[in-house]
Amino acid sequence: MGNKILFFDIDGTILDHDKKIPDGVVEAIQKAKENGHEVVIATGRSAFTASFIFEQLNIDSFVCYNGQVVQFKGEIIHSGVIDRTALQRLTDFASERQQPLVYMGTNEMVSNLLEHNDIHESISTLKIDFPRAEENFYLENDVHQALIFCDIAAQEEYEKAFPHLKFVRWHRVSCDVLPLGVSKAKGIELLLTHLNKTPEDAIAFGDGLNDLEMLEYVGTGVAMGNSVEELKEKATFVTDHVSENGLVNAMKKLNLI
């Protein structure tokens, strides 16, 4: 196998459900780099909530906010934002329904409500700090991605009301909100173009709904054993569970290590 560009999701792929890196993963990724492969993180997280992963894996290339911000070896090559007018409408629509929003800026994530059970329930699963509250943060700051806190039935209302936005569920009570057309796959395409590479040069590993386009786009798409069923159907193959050496086993099967 020639040198490849490897794209790794974080939650449920590099991190297990306790938000720990399973034994052998750091060493496997280091070995892949030594073997000449480029390693890139591809996540729905912001760069600042993924920084501990970059440090532990010694990586400075990423596709963050589900494709909105792309960096290669320290150089930002793309930075997309959500239109402020659309955010205003979204905020008003959510407020009428008493459903909170979190705005994900470049350096911090900010809630428009001080307290809400759904924010606590979902954000706490990421093992990150609870966002501070500021009602109009989005009016004066770039927002790359937003989080809306609602159930699946309410998500359908948002999708009908905002056809130019994309809603991707990542938790029982929360969805990522992005401009239509944005995805990890789009971010990967921008990075591959920057490097004069093709999808066939890329291998991606993921487990969630926000990984669907990514696994379809790259030459080889690997779904973790703990993946949602929709992703397993799109994958080149399904490896073992994240907690059962799934990532390392997949890398061995692909002769990356």
Q: Which residues are catalytic?
A: 9
Sign of the alpha-carbon dihedral angle for 196, 202, 206, 210: positive
Question: Rounded to an integer, what distance in angstroms lies between the CA atom of residue 207 and that of residue 225?
Answer: 8
CB atoms within 10 A of CB 150: 20
Question: Rounded to an integer, what distance in angstroms lies between the CA atom of residue 248 and that of residue 242?
Answer: 9
One-letter amino acid at 93 equals F
**Residue tagged 């900010």 (tokens):** 110
User: CA nearest 212: which of 5, 9, 61?
Assistant: 9
- Assign 255 to helix, strand or coil: coil
In this structure, are strands 101-104 and 132-133 parallel, antiparallel, or unpaired? Answer: unpaired
Q: Please say whether the beta carbons of 211 and 217 come within 8 A.
A: no
Q: At what angle do helices 152-161 and 84-96 cross, to 10 degrees?
A: 140
127's CB contacts (< 8 A; 6+ apart) are 19
**Residue tagged 């159907």 (tokens):** 233
Question: Rounded to an integer, what distance in angstroms lies between the CA atom of residue 179 and that of residue 257?
Answer: 37
